[in-house]
Amino acid sequence: MPPTAVPASIHTSPPPTPNPTLTTADLLALISPDRLLADVAALSAIQPGSGWRSAGTQGEAEAIDYVYTELEKLSYLQGLGMAPEREAFSLLLSTEVWEAGLELTAPGETYQVPATALVAPPDRLGPALRFDSDGILNDAQPNPLDVKGPVVLLSTAEEIANLESEQLTATVAFLDYALIDPTIVEWSDALERSAAVLAANPTGLVIVTHHSEQPGESHGTFAGDGSPLAYIEVGARPVTLLTRLEDIASSWGDLAALQSARLTWDTDVFSPATSHNMVARIPGRDPTHAILLTAHIDSANNPGAMDDAGGAAALLEIARVLNAARVQPAVDLYLVWFGAEESGLIGSFAFASAHSELLDRTLLMIAMDCPTRPPPAIATTPHLLTWASGTLGDDELLTATYLVTAAAQHDLHVVTAPASRAAADNLPFAAFDVPNTQLLLGSPQAFAAQGGFYYTSNIHNPYDTADRAPPDGPLKMARLALLAALEVGQAQPTLRDTPPPQRRAVLIGSHTEAAQSSPGNFADLATTLARAGFDVDTIPYGQSVTDADLQETDLVIVLPVLDYPAPNWNESLYDENWNEAELLALEAYVQQGGLLVLTNSADHRDFAGRPIAANEDWADMNALAARFGITYVEPFLVGYEAEVVAEHPLLDGVQRLQLLPDNGLGLETEQGTVLATVDNRPAAVLVERGTGQILALSDVWMLAAGWDGENTVFWEQLGRYAGDR
């Protein structure tokens, strides 16, 4: 849909009388630091000891409810037509912590201390049930485990090295997390020590963290959501809890007085799980354009004051300021609180894939994430991280440069930071040529030089609390984001560095539930197509393909059938597949001269390309491929490179295509041209049908991997070929 189109569903009734006298400076001055910090404190206090706002949990739902309740109080914005909506989506798994109790006994006293349980890695099915107290998937019944034993302290590497198998049976081990903290200990050493502790078979295990501002010392990074303990294969995991030393004693030595410990643990793992985005559209005077301001509402098994209650609070404050000032924005303003960011940007992937029309008319997208509190040596300067099409040769960062200039006019200091890719919620929007940036506090370069982003920025640890958050962090974010919305909405600058679209490509994810293979994860491919003059749209998961979706389309890319239920796990829940109407629509598209690209995937892979589980749905692509005489077959291709074996305009300048190791399906075809092979087996074939063509690829990651090499040339040729046909 072209950027000037207005969806018929958009509310355009006359708004309440606005206040036309306030300037941008007046609005910025209305932002309240006290309200911001109160919101940070409220969000950080949700479900203490129960996983806080972990993705797909009751805590995350309570945070969404908090935002909804606050938005409902804004009567002027409601009069404009603002109606907050929850948008549900699925994620691979979540861990619900129902109970985590730690009772300690010392001479003359027994007392409770705050504790929480560990959560399963969000993209690892293998170890997930080890984080479920009864080992039964999707069971929400109370099943608390209660264990007790004498305390054994493990505070040195030597003590762990000297452990023998079964030595800690019937005891509760207190482990200093610094000994297995992967941000200060080599990963191999952390794994070895974790394995030694588990092999000693304690009845209970208490991981103890301690806060330190000294460089090189542990402060619990990833203790609750990514410690090496998650990756150790054991038969039976001890009841494991996490606590802070500061909540027990003044020093590690004081723990020697503990006589016994009692641990209560009740958790359940859900797969798939459900999360939500909260979306509030504030209608603008010009509904043909839009601005998106976003933050994520979930946290990573910790209070999450800086990651990202600060950003979530900034969004709320922007809505309150516009409401109190009775100001209607110049263009539609969308405030979006994403769920499940910590599970791999799942909420933003779901939103971007489902809102192609909105993204076509979006002038700017900002992801506010991490108003951090780094060590004193690192200034908490607002940074704009963006890359636009810089990875493809255009080094001009239009979005960041424009915002820096606009901020300077209001004495707001902000710095640009080019990035090759993003690890925040702006990544999926790059796949749709949306000018985007991540807004954070602190220097990414300094973070990298002093121990890494997560470690140095003091997030993903039990000390990401409201009292430690920078008091002016959310304020800086709110001021910059509001300024950007006002400035860009009024001036409507050209921030896209791609030509106006003259062609259209559609990525079909109708049966691709896994976010890692969804349309939003193909940012490099989509940027390449945008630079070739394509408007890239999507058919999101759960929406059937129709004839209308394929009209006036030059290129259609079909993503793998890949749902979350996995073999030997929970595949009886449901199973994705094509329906006859979809198959007929795609067949007709080809017969009428279209270029159809088919893809597949042997495995469900994470964002880094590592296997999560076998894809039991791979053969379902044959329901479509067989219409064109193509079949995906076993055994899978071995290796990670396909050698080009035919001359064709699609492959000019290309000698090989990169796959993910062992993720390609075998291909068989009744007729057509084999373009590339792996060990003499077809990995890419081109088939003529009617006046159209079908390009079948053995591995969908041919469209996502190898962005630094020959795959990029292949994508460029694909766009050129589709446009010239």
pLDDT for res 12: 44
Residue 376 sits at φ, ψ, to 5 deg, of -55, -25
pLDDT (average), residues 6-16 = 47
Taking the C-alpha atoms of residue 406 and residue 416, their distance in angstroms, rounded to an integer, is 13
pLDDT digits (tens, 9 = 90+) for 259-275: 999 999 999 999 999 99
pLDDT for res 422: 61
pLDDT (average), residues 217-221 = 94
For the cut 70, the answer to whether the pLDDT of residue 36 exceeds it is yes
Query: Which of the following CATH numbers is that of domain 503-724: 3.60.15.10, 3.40.50.300, 3.40.640.10, 3.40.50.880?
Result: 3.40.50.880
pLDDT (average), residues 276-284 = 98
pLDDT digits (tens, 9 = 90+) for 541-559: 999 999 999 999 999 999 9
**Between residues 392 and 685, the one the model is more confident about:** 685
Maximum C-alpha span of the chain: 87
Place of tokens 């993204």: 359
At CB < 8 A and 24+ separation, what contacts does 65-73 make? Answer: 66/42, 67/278, 67/297, 67/312, 67/315, 67/316, 67/337, 68/278, 70/39, 70/316, 70/319, 70/320, 71/280, 71/316, 71/319
pLDDT digits (tens, 9 = 90+) for 631-683: 999 999 998 899 999 999 999 989 999 999 999 999 999 899 999 999 999 99
Confidence of residue 705 (pLDDT cuts 50, 70, 90): low
pLDDT for res 443: 72
Confidence of residue 453 (pLDDT cuts 50, 70, 90): confident
pLDDT (average), residues 607-621 = 91
pLDDT (average), residues 130-153 = 93
User: Which of 329-343, 394-408, 619-633 is the least confident region?
Assistant: 394-408
For the cut 60, the answer to whether the pLDDT of residue 576 exceeds it is yes
Contact yes or no for 308/316 (Cβ under 8 A): no
Query: Which of the following CATH numbers is that of domain 95-267: 3.40.50.300, 3.50.30.30, 2.40.30.10, 3.40.50.261?
Result: 3.50.30.30
Confidence of residue 144 (pLDDT cuts 50, 70, 90): very high
For the cut 90, the answer to whether the pLDDT of residue 567 exceeds it is no
- The reply to whether domains 95-267 and 503-724 share a CATH topology is no
Mean pLDDT over each residue of the chain, to the nearest integer: 91
DSSP state of 388: T
Q: Buried b vs exposed e over 191-214: b needs ≥16 C-beta within 10 Å?
A: bbbbbbbbebbbbbbbbbbbbeee
Contacts of 85 (CB under 8 A, 6+ apart): 278, 279, 280
pLDDT for res 658: 92
pLDDT digits (tens, 9 = 90+) for 616-640: 999 999 999 999 999 999 999 998 8
Confidence of residue 710 (pLDDT cuts 50, 70, 90): confident
Domain covering 24-92+273-491 in this structure, CATH number: 3.40.630.10
| Counts for the chain of helices (H) and strands (E), in that order | 18, 29
User: Which of 310-314, 346-350, 610-614, 677-681 is the least confident region?
Assistant: 610-614
Confidence of residue 1 (pLDDT cuts 50, 70, 90): very low
Confidence of residue 5 (pLDDT cuts 50, 70, 90): very low
Confidence of residue 395 (pLDDT cuts 50, 70, 90): low
pLDDT for res 458: 87
Domain boundaries, the chain: 24-92+273-491, 95-267, 503-724
Proportion of the chain above pLDDT 90, given as a percent? 74
The 3-state DSSP class for residue 611 equals strand
pLDDT for res 16: 67
Confidence of residue 707 (pLDDT cuts 50, 70, 90): low
pLDDT for res 93: 94
pLDDT (average), residues 486-498 = 91
Burial class (CB in 10 A: 0-12, 13-18, 19+), 557: buried
Confidence of residue 88 (pLDDT cuts 50, 70, 90): very high
